[in-house]
């Protein structure tokens, strides 16, 4: 769920909530946790944050790398429009 998750930035809260449910179910299955185990405990035990937090972290990293010319060259071809990251083809 972390791969290319910045694409989900700007998604509706309904979409994010559906993904959180799937993420929680997946973590419960991996950890063999009971259904009533609180999400906060699941995240702490698995060392994985909620998907909405991970999306924001990824966007912040991309913006930082783009503004500071750090990382892969593709970051230098990106710019922000509102809450979206756009890849410019040169």
SS (H, E, C) the chain: CCCCHHHHCCCCHHHHHHHHHHHHHHHHHHHCCCCCCCHHHHHHHHCCCCHHHHHHHHHHHHHHHHHCCCCCHHHHHEEEECCEEEECCC
Please give the pLDDT value at position 29. Answer: 95
Domain range for residue 68?
5-87
What pLDDT digit, counting tens, does each position of 38-55 carry?
Answer: 999 999 999 988 988 888
pLDDT, average across residues 26-42: 93
Residue 22's pLDDT band, with cuts at 50, 70 and 90, is very high
Beta-carbon contacts of 38 under 8 Å, excluding residues fewer than 6 positions away, are: none
Partners of 87 in beta bridges: 78
Give how many domains the chain has, as a whole number: 1
pLDDT at 88 over 60: no
């Amino acid at each position: 769920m972390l791969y290319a998750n910045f694409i989900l930035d700007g998604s509706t809260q309904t979409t994010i909530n559906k993904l959180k449910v799937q993420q929680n179910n997946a973590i419960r299955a991996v950890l063999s946790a009971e259904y009533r185990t609180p999400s906060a405990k699941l995240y702490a035990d698995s060392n994985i944050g909620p998907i909405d937090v991970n999306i924001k972290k990824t966007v912040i990293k991309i913006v930082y790398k783009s503004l500071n010319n750090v990382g892969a060259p593709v970051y230098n071809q990106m710019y922000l429009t509102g809450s979206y990251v756009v890849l410019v083809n040169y």
